[in-house]
Structures are given as structure tokens and as C-alpha cells.
Structure 1
Amino acid sequence: MLSLSSTTTIITATILVFYLHHTTSLPPHAQLSTCHVTSFNCGTITNLSYPFTGGDRPSFCGPPQFHLNCQNGIVPELIISSVSYRVIHVNSEAHTLNLARLDLWNETCTNVYVNSTFDGPTFSYGSGNQNLTLFYECEASSRITETPENLFHCWSNGDKNNSYSLVGPFPLDPILEVVECDEHVKVPILIELADRLVKNRSLLGEVLMKGFNVNYMNPYETECFECLASGGVCGFDSDNDEPICICGDQLCATPGSSKVAVAIGASVGAVGALVVILGCVYFVLQRRRKIAYNKQRSSMDLFMPPSSGDTFASTTNTSQSLSSYQSSNTDPMPPRSNYFGVQVFTYEELEEATKNFDSSKELGEGGFGTVYKGELKDGRVVAVKRHYESNSRRIEQFMNEVQILARLRHKSLVTLFGCTHRHSRELLLVYEFIPNGTVADHLQGRSTKSTNLLPWPIRLNIAVETAEALAYLHAKGVIHRDVKTNNILLDDNFRVKVADFGLSRDFPNHVTHVSTAPQGTPGYVDPEYYQSYQLTDKSDVYSFGVVLVELISSLQAVDINRNRSDVNLANMAINKIQNQELLEFVDPYLGFERDYAIRRMTTGVAELAFRCLQQEREIRPSMNEVVEILRGINSSDGLGAREETKVLEVRTDEAILLKVSPVSPDSVVDKWVSGSSVSNSS
């Protein structure tokens, strides 16, 4: 009779033979290495990446649903449910497209009588759309006494036919009661243009060319992430209808999502199930023995003195595993202990400190939990973060924050006082209390402690101290991963305390990146991180660039009430700087027009933000370089600069930020300084 190990060996060998004979159908002489190029252009759309293919990027580099026709050299075309669309815009960060019907481009008539539908797993209707129905080959009734406003004509087989456009749900127009139409086409339009179209039917062609919004989702996202994590790049085998993982110019040894992997998983799973069953039998037998043994010991324990060494051991080992945190809650709760070197509080202590988590004690609410103000029995005022849930993901974030903050000490990082025990009923973190709210509160006027929206010297100091904190993190091998003004706290002296390390990641000095699914706050996340799934310290640099433009403009990172092109503040800042419109972008409260010294410093910070927000991470400066630049700008705010304004008449054209190149060695600040010197000497 075969043993369990022998059976496992035979099954595994069979699986390997099957795996080695598996082949993937790809085009002959396919140069798989071309998929390693992270971005490509298709017509007027630039910096496209996986899952899209087209142009110089072969179709086997991504799923067929995302293949673009770039042959006309003008705009990319995408086929969805047999209908061709022109791709006007791609937002890879938000996973949205702006599309327009190809057959209705610069044309209101069509012979493609197919509705535009987006109800599949890959493409779905985006926000901000309104339905439009076009009716063709209509016969008007004699009951029509005057020409309808929504009438237009199309030619079919040499004949002119009546056609009508109807905005809104179908049918809702009296015209349909007096006409009969053979064909109709439904297509979305932008909701902000729908009202204009109702008022002016002549705009029909223009409205159709503005397109509509569509969300997209790559159904092979998980498999692609696994491939990237293993060092490969993502591709697709259309013949076998499965994703592939490419290493160099060949397939990786273990493609993340092939059918072979499914077969291997099923076979190994069967073996695993057998092992689990045998293990359960063994566990039951051992459990019965232990119960019998404990019954025998219990009678002896009545006559034995209690042990004095039964305490929870202190530890500073930062590699303690997640499983240890989730271990059995039958262990005794010690009166006081440490976890990763920080104090462990009981749930009851923190419940009492926050008055049973009274709503009046709430300081703020984030994506992971609510923060309460509390007072410990020793008199310390603290901030207690209460995680919403205790699932495995929340526990991992909780442990991550404890491990990272326990070993970091910096004047501009929030101090972690402690946390609840691993057996506590809830996951609670205890920080020093920072009384003056967040930078976002002050910039957006939500703070009750500030009578103004932060003068320029304080904003510049916030930038310097935040940059110093991030540079310290990077030197310690930590990427914050969620840098934003809501996570920058201010004390009573407006000194910075960077907080919230739940998403932070360790980043050893010897690695170039960490492969991980993109996480963070919309508007702050590095766009290249979205494209490559590779997290680096330059991802923090991008997020900090968004913080800089917030400090300059007092605008939110994302605001759907702004013009469409300006919803994302980073894009808005880039456009304003490139178009020499900094004056329109800067918060008027700062005195940009009145004070030459402030104008010069604001201009320097704007240029630095411009460099931090570059799409390609290699172009962005390091945080150490950012710190040095900001310190240099800050040191220029002195008597000399202010005396200069008294004797120097600043020309209007010098007040406009010059169009700069991210790779230019000459900074705008240098140009201002040299220009000032010349003017002063003359």
C-alpha cells in the first residue's frame, strides 16, 4: 500500500509532465520583449500602457478587449460589442474612457443601427452621461402642423428621410405619437451638454463628437499583478483566451493565470485536502489525549503553589508574523506588556479615556477608522484610532503601522504611544494628540483655530518639515504611500506631524521597487504606479508634489465641481505652469501680486512641484533633493529680499512663471535671482 508521501510524489510528477507539455499559441516569431516597453502612443493619445495595445505595442501584450486601431494616425479606435468608437481621452488612474461613436463622428446620420451598450464586466457606463435616441427613416403624420425642432434629414438610397433626436428616457416626446420610424440608435452623451442640446437642436453634431464617459476594468488584473510580482510583464494569448506572463523574450516559467495553473491547483488541492483530513484525525486523537492528561493534572494542581513567571514577554522583534497576532484568545491578559516595544493598553482603558468612544470626542474619520480624543489616567491627552473592522486586511494594516512607527523617531512624525493587546476585542492605536488639526482643514477653511488660511511663511515651513519627514522615512527604508494634506497634522505652533502609516511599506535599500497593487488616495497616487504596479520612493515624491500645489493654490486635490480638465489638481497645476498662468493658480490671499519676495518663493515652489509631478518617475527629484531646494527657497525669505522690493520696480512680465522643462538645469528661482541682481545693479 502506498504511503501518503508516495501518493503525493506520483501526483506531483504527473502534474509536472502535463505542465512541461503545455504550449501557448502565439504569433510566429513573436517578439515578446516588445511588451516590456511600459508606454506607447496611439494617434493623439500618449503614454498608454497595459491593458491597452496597438500601434507599436503588439496585440499579445494585452487582452483583446483593449486593442486599439492606430492605423489612421489621428486617434485610436476601440471596438466594443461590434461598434467602433473613437477614443478621445484615457484616464488610466481612474480607469475611465471618453468615447465617441465613430459612425456618428462629424455626422448625425448612420446606417449602423446598433445601440451603444456598456453592461459587461469589462466596460460599464460612467458617471455624467444622459441617453440620446436617434430615430431614422421616419414617416411623418399629417397631424404634424409645424416643423419639430428635433427634426433632421438623412439620405438613404437616394431619398431624403426624416430623422429625429430625443434626449432622455425613451419614449418621452409627443413627436413619437405622430411619426413612425423604422430604425433607432441609442447613444450616451455628456449630461452637461444634454440641456444645451434641448435648447439648441443644431448642436446635435457637436454634442455627439464630445462623446461620453465609460468605466473600464481589466478582468485579468489579479493575474497581471501576480505576474508583475514575480518579475514578469503581462501579456495575452488570444488563441487560448488566457493571460500570459512574459520574462524577457519568452514566457515565464510559471504564468500566473494559465489553465495549466488551474489544473495544478486542482490537483495539489486534492492532495492538500487529503493531508488536511489526515491531520484532523491526528489532531482529534491528540486532543483527546491532552484532555485526559489535563484532567489528571487538575487534581494535582490543587496542592501546588501558583507560578509567578506567567507573564507576557516583551518584544521588539519587528518581524513578528500576522499569525502570532491572531493567535488564540485564551491566553491570560497581563497587567502591562509591550508589543514591538510600545505600550499595550486594554480596551477598557481606552474606552474609559474616550468616554465610551463618545461622538463628541471624534477628531476625524478616514478610510480605515475613526480617531477620538482621549485622556489617560496618567493625564496624557491622546488620539485613539479605532479601526472599523478586525478582518485580516485591517489587522495587517494595524500591525504594519505599529511595526513602522515603533522604530521611527523624528520631530515631524507623529509619536505612537501604544496599541491594544493582540487579544483585544478591537484594534486600537494610541498616538500623541496633535491639537491644531490637519493642513487640509486650514487650507479649506474648516479649522476653528485659524482666523485665516495660513500665511505664506507657515505654508513654506509646512512644506520644508513634511519633506524632511519623508526624506527621513526614505533613509530608513520606508515608503509612506499615502502622503496627503489630510495626513499632515499641525501642533499649536503650526509644526508638522506626519501621520497615518497604515499603507506604508518597507523598502530595503538594495531593491529598486516593490511590486504591489496600487493603493492610496485618488488625486495623490503616482500615475506610473497605476501603470506598472511598481512602488518606489518616487511615488511619495509625486504625492508630495500634489501637497505643494495645494499649499500654493488652497485647492483640493480632486474636485468634481471644477472644469473637467481641472478635476485633478495635479493636471491643473501642470497646465497652468506650462501655459504661464501661475498668477491665476496661486491663492490670492498669499500676496503673490503685492510682495516680490513671496512671488519669488512661490514661483520656486511651483517649479519644484512641476518636477515632482512628472509622469516618468526617473525625472522626479529625490526627497533629499526636494529638502535642499525647499531649504534654499526658505532661506531666501529675509531682509535682503524684502528690502529689494523697496528699490526694485518689478516688471509685470517678470511676475509670470516661465515655461520650464523638467530636465532643465536652470531653475526658475535662479532666473529670478539673476534677473534681480542685474536690475538692482543697474
Structure 2
Amino acid sequence: MAAASLFSVFFFFVLFNLLLFIHPCSSSCPKSFSCGNLTSLEFPLAQANKTGCGLFTVDCTEPSTPRIQLTGDGRQYEILEKISVNRFKLLDPVIQQGLNVSQSCLIMRNLSLPFSPSTSFTFSPNLTFFTCDNRINENGTKWDVFKDYRNYTGCGGFTVFYSNSTNQFPPGSSDFIPGCTTVQMPVKSNQDSGNLFDMLTAEFVLDWNVSDDCKACHGRGGQCLADNLNQFECKEDSTSSAVVVAAAISGGSVIIVACLFACFIVYNRKKRMDASRNATRHPSKSDVTGGSFKYGIVVFSYPELVKATSNFAASNQLGDGGFGIVYYGKLKDGRDVAIKRLYDHNYRRVEQFMNEIKILTSLRHPNLVSLYGCTSRRSRELLLVYEYVPRGTLADNLHGDSAKEAPLTWNLRMKIAIETANALAYLHKSDIIHRDIKSTNILLDSSLCVKVADFGISRPFPTDATHISTLPQGTPGYVDPAYYQCYQLTNKSDVYSFGVVLIELITSMPAVDIGRNTQEINLSNLAMIKIQSGAFDELIDPCLGYKTDAEVTRMTTSVAELAFRCLQNEKELRPSMDEVLQFLKGIQAGGDGNIPHSPETDDALLLNNKYREQRSPIAVTDPWRSDSNASSTG
């Protein structure tokens, strides 16, 4: 009993000190705050430096133009006016810029409002538009439902349908119209204008309502969150004052029993966590087909995805991925999705399937494609469900059918280059090497924003490692020659592949074309030869404005020089991905990107007499290891 009493005193002492420690934190979130002329801002708003105090952050860096961030993608809206506690007048800078520069088609997208179990949103005035991909409507009959709607066909790859009289789907149609995306846009109060873009505005009034559950959670000092199924979850401190009081009046013997029981639970939980970590480190086929996923993503039923794709109809096929065919689909909740279907069920495919799930569930970036979920372990096929990216691949928009309908201007290509570099720099900072960067893995949404995709063969790259030893994998024309020759994968391998993409952007040519001269079949070889000889006029696509527009000439030439450095055979001579990003931003801002020159690199770089011809080892006639028989050695 003496020992029990002594343990009880010790236990009370610990609880008392813990209570003192917790108490000051409960008041760290102010009840209200001000930002410039905006006063009495309350929950769910929070200051940007007050993590966990609210659902949406207000940036007061520039008090004259306060901004609110509603989602985790970094997009901010300027606050024009506080109308009431939960009603604000906002301005979308992205839409405003699009209207100002007359690139109106690029702004036809939904506002980036969160889908949250804690809060509901409405914005007004608004109108529903239907942006429909012209490639899906080959026979011209699928869109008869819009016969009474106005239409705008000046957007190149898609047609916009709209009606002033309704915000609903057309009469006689369902919420599944293949190839069409429903978009709500802010419009001016007077919607009678016959011109589509005269109706649009960047200003709108946003209302929000916080759920009762979230209000109660916040009142208790908790945080309103969403679980893996997007259901409401309240995160509270496990040690509340009620628990402290209850524990304080408990007997010593009860405490000892409780502690022993808690130790037993912790011990068993630790065993399960260790087993889970081991399973994660060594994914096997059973993780997918006979076990369960542990990555916190939504699990879809196979019949649901069969219905979403009209039984994987050939008309819904979007293209071939790294290890499966990709189909367009429409989920029952109305979301447009892209569904990747494995070619077969062998171990190699399953390993790539698991690899893509692990990587995409651990990364969040606006220029990486979002993974919505996958099929369950009992599914007859393994399927991945991604966000649908309607404008297709960069390759198709540069030298495919889409390029003929709506060629990309140089400013758009520069934007695409920067956003792709931004995504790759983020991956490298997250210790991930993409390993298969190419124009067919760079997708464009309806606003021509980049979404880098296909992480089936990506690899984690430890920060203290100089390389990973593995058999070369990737796509002919894009593979790093140092990787191919030495079997050493580094983050500079992605830099080389990105250099090929830069050349595609300035030439509008594919990375491999057997119709070109032998030494120029690989675009990287062609570029190195032309740039080294200063023949930029034989390399850069004249349709971009080269030689007729001084600014385009300056930027395309600078990008060509940057690509030259990315394509060096010796990986040490290539810049890092973060440096590439900064160079591109510098070029866009009006300089040459501050591309560095030094005596050590000039001998191997641009326009010198000691230039050695450099060719990609992955030519069409070279021996090639396919993904199906290549295996990692490290």
C-alpha cells in the first residue's frame, strides 16, 4: 500500500504539472484579430502565423490588400470588403489577370473553394458553364442536349455552353455528359450580355457556414479536421480538465491497474505499428490483392469504376500510361476523373502500382496530379483514380492534334516550363526522383496549368546519397546518358530529361523522330549541334515569333542555352533543378536567367572550339531494356 500511495502522489504531481503546461496553450489563439482596415475577424479565419487556430488563413503582409487562403494549394483571394462575420467580397487575381490580358479561355475553371465537412460555401452572383472537350464529340451528337444553349467556340480545344436562364443541367440530361466539365464562374449582376467574356468578373461575394460540430469542437479548444473519407473529425488534446479531475480522485490501486492496462495497449500497438512499417518498406502483391491499403486514400469499388468509364469503353480511352491504359470517367458524385488500369497482374506492375500510391499520398503540390483513390484488395483489377486533366498531354499540345487546333503561344510555353520546373524542384526537395520526365507525363488542365503525372518508376533519394545504383529505366530520347552508361541514378537525371522538354517547348518537335537525319533522330542531339554552331534560327520554331519579336527572340535563345547546360553528358556540369527554376524565372522577368559561366565549365559548354559532339545513348537503334525485365540493383 505504501508503494501504491507513493505512486499515486507521483502520478498526481505529474498530472498537476501537465495541467500547468497545457493551460497557457489554450489561450494562444486570439478570439478575434484585425488586418488593415478589417476588424473583428473571427473563427474560422486565422492569422497566417497562427497554425491550427482556424480553417482559413488571412495574409496581412500587405495591410492595404489583405488576402485570404481557402485551400492548401497556395491560391489567395484579395479581400475587398467585409460585409458581415461570414460574408466577404473577394477578388480572384487569377481571373483578373486573365481578363486583363484577354486570355479569357484560360480562366474557365471553378473557384478553388474547399470541399469540407466543416464548412459549406456559396458565392454570388454566379453562372454555370459547361466546357466540353471537342475530341470527345467526334460524331457531333453527344452535345445535342445543349441545343438551346449559347455556345462559344473560340477556345480552340473545347466548346463552352451556357444559358442565362438556368444553373442546372440541360433538360433531359443526367449529370454525366462525357467530355464536359461543369464550371461555376462569378459573373456581373447584369447577365443579359450576349458576349460570354463581358459577363465574367473577378469579383464575387463569398458566404460560408461553419457546421455545429465544428463550432462545438473549436469551443472545446479542438481543431476541425477531415478523416481519410472526408468525414468530420475533431482533434482534441487527450488530456482535458475533466480527465485530470477524474484521475485526481481515483484510488491508487485503480491507477496502478490502469497504468498496467495502458502499458499493455501501448505494447500491442507498437507491435502492430512495427509490422505496418515493415509491410510499407517491403510492398508485396498481398498488400494490394490480399491485404489492405495503409496510405489513407479512398477505396473505390470495381463496379463503381466500371460504371464511371462505361465499362472501359474505347471512346473514353485517354491514352497509355507507364504501365496501364488511362480512361476518362465520371464518378457518381459528379467528379471527372482519369482511371488508370493495369495491363496485367504481374509482380512488377503491382510494385509500380504501390509505388505510385505511396509517393502521391505523401506529396501535395499544385503542379502534381492528385490521386483520388484506388480499388480495394478484393477488386478483380487494380485501378488508380486521378483528377481528370482535360487538355491532355504537353506532347499533344506541342506536336499532336491539339497543336493544330490551338497552338501554344510562347508566353504559355514559358509558364509551362516554370510550373514543371517548380514541381520537379519540389520533388527533389522531398527526396524523390521522378525518373520519367517527358512531355507525355506533363498534363495541362483547362487553364493550361501543369500537372506532372506517372510516378510508377519514381524513386526516393536519400539526402546523404550521391547516387542510386539501378538498371536504367525511362523513355528513349529522355534518359540521362550518365545514368545509362554508369547505372547511377541521381537528381541530375531529371534535369537532363527536363532539358529535352525545354527543347521540345522551343522547337515544337518530338523527342524522337525517325524521319529526321540519323544524327538528329534524338532531339537532344539535334539541339546540341544547332546550339553549338549558333544556328538558333534552324532550331527555334519560327511560329513563336523568333526573329520577328525581340522579346521572344531573347527568351527562346536564353532557354535554349539553359537547355544546353541541362543536356551535358557530365552530370556535374548540369545545374540543379532549383537553379533551373530560378534561371527560368529570371528569363521570364527580363534577363538571361543569370545562367552561370565559369572557366571550369566554358570548355564544355556553349559556343567554344573544344566542343565534343554529345549524343543521347538512347537512340532508336540502341539496345534497350524494357520496364518489364529491368530490375533494381539498389
TM-score norm. by structure 2 comes to 0.49
The structure with the largest alpha-carbon Rg is 1
